[in-house]
Structure 1
Amino acid sequence: MAVFNERKAEGQLTAEAKKIRPENLEALLAKQRAIEDKVKGSGKLNRFKSDIKLMFDMIRDYWNGSYRDVPWKSIAAIAGALVYVLNPLDLIPDLLIGIGFLDDAGVVALCLKLVETDLFRYAAWKEQQREVTDSHPTN
């Protein structure tokens, strides 16, 4: 079996991202719990737990229109990575004990590398929104 490397991760991520359309985001958001459960159950993916939550938050805010300061290609890359994680029969089937999540982790890591600036910008925006909400509580 060939070793999974960054080039293969890039190929898988690009292929998934190209399939993503804005109308796919709602269905992906509905699968958040399944993806988060899969991540928790995998040693290789578990380190990305908080990043994946942030990715879902950004997709949700993009989808509902509250945050649009991000290029579509970043949203498509994030959605593509999450769809890839959900697929149990991807390049390295998840059922292969010890290595089954290696490709998933590689695709998520590459995605994070590619959209890092957009995620940092989103996290700062989200924190600012939280501060505004906290300083103006509703009665």
Structure 2
Amino acid sequence: MKLKNYFTPDDEYVLEQTNETTTEEVDEVIKREGKLSFLMSTVKVLKKYYKLVDVMMMMIKDYRKGNYKAVPWFTIAAIGGALLYVLSPFDMIPDFIPGLGYIDDITVLTIVVGWIDSDLHRYLDWKLETEGTTPEEAKKLREAQ
């Protein structure tokens, strides 16, 4: 058995964590957006998720502001749980381990994106059609499509 298979979270683990995600934890993700953005843009293996995380953050913010409610709580909780996991220093595999440290983070993000893909696409469509979308947001959204 490969070491990464032993320490990599599976669907069941991620689902359990998502079901336990609270509104306060989602708010914590919003507060830590700067740290998350820095991490996603500087860690080579996480860069492919950088634009996706931008869209997820926009969705969470619009949901919390009451601008976008056409999304199930499960999707918001899944995003919040995944992003908190990525930010957490207490992973299954500590991030400081070279070569392996971010495998669990990538796995969690991949699982969650697979679950919420259709909700993300609906949000992208809605956001691009909304008049209040800033040019900067529109650029990020188009890049993520």
- TM-score normalised by length of structure 2: 0.82
Secondary structure of the structure 2 residue equivalent to 1:25:
helix
* Alpha-carbon distance in 1 for matches of 2:62, 2:35: 19
Structure 2: 5+ residue stretches without partners: 136-145
Structure 1 equivalent of residue 142 of structure 2: none
* Alpha-carbon distance in 2 for matches of 1:128, 1:34: 29
Matched, 1:101 2:102: yes
Deviates more, 1:22-31 or 1:10-19: 10-19
* Alpha-carbon distance in 1 for matches of 2:34, 2:89: 15
Structure number, greater radius of gyration = 1
Secondary structure of the structure 2 residue equivalent to 1:100:
coil
CA shift, 1:27, in A, is: 2.0
Structure 1 vs Structure 2: percent identity of aligned residues?
Answer: 29
Structure 2 equivalent of residue 18 of structure 1: 19
CA shift, 1:110, in A, is: 1.1
Structure 2 equivalent of residue 137 of structure 1: none
Preserved CA contact (<8 Å) 2:4 2:103: no
Q: Which amino acid aligns with 1:84?
A: Y
**1:101 and 1:23, CA in 2 relative to 1: closer, same or farther beyond 3 A?**
same
Preserved CA contact (<8 Å) 1:16 1:84: no
The number of equivalent residue pairs is: 133
Structure 1 equivalent of residue 116 of structure 2: 115
The CA deviation string for residues 13-63 of structure 1, in whole angstroms up to 9 with x for no partner, is 223312311233222101011111111221211100000010010000001
The CA deviation string for residues 62-81 of structure 1, in whole angstroms up to 9 with x for no partner, is 01100010111111111110
Structure 2 equivalent of residue 56 of structure 1: 57
Structure 1: 5+ residue stretches without partners: 135-139
* Alpha-carbon distance in 1 for matches of 2:105, 2:65: 27
Give matches, 1:3-42, under 5 Å.
3-4=4-5, 8-42=9-43
- TM-score normalised by length of structure 1: 0.86
Secondary structure of the structure 1 residue equivalent to 2:94:
coil
* Alpha-carbon distance in 1 for matches of 2:96, 2:12: 22
Matched, 1:71 2:65: no
Q: Which amino acid aligns with 1:47?
A: K
* Alpha-carbon distance in 1 for matches of 2:131, 2:97: 42
RMSD value, Cα: 2.2
Matched, 1:46 2:52: no
CA shift, 1:120, in A, is: 0.2
Secondary structure of the structure 2 residue equivalent to 1:51:
helix
**1:96 and 1:131, CA in 2 relative to 1: closer, same or farther beyond 3 A?**
same
